Amino acid sequence: MEGTKRENIKQGTKVRVVQKQDQRSGKLTEGIVQRILTNSHNHPHGIKVMLESGIVGRVKEIIDL
């Protein structure tokens, strides 16, 4: 499932995000959503979230709901 729709992402969801510095390489970081930072209902590059580890990135993949 893609991470472009806010309704698909909740606190506690396991996701893979791309961090700002990894956008060119496309390196993904896995983690659990702590906070959703994007206010709009959808975003073409992925919803921006903060993971429990403190990493901020845009959701590229949702692993489980």
Specify if 36 maps to a domain: yes
Domain that holds residue 12: 6-64
pTM of this structure: 0.92
* Average pLDDT per consecutive 10 residues, the chain (65 residues; last block may be shorter): 90 97 96 97 96 97 85
Number of domains in the chain: 1
User: CATH code at 59?
Assistant: 2.30.30
Tracing tokens 């970081």 back to the chain, one arrives at 29
- DSSP letters along 20-50, please? GGGTTTT-EEEEEEEEE---SSB-TT--EEE
- pLDDT, residue 65, reads 61
Q: How far apart are CA 27 and CA 12, in angstroms?
A: 22
**28, part of any domain:** yes
Answer yes or no: is 1 within a domain: no
Q: Is 46 exposed, middle or buried (0-12, 13-18, 19+ CB in 10 A)?
A: buried
| pLDDT score recorded for residue 56 | 98
Structure tokens at 17: 């995000």
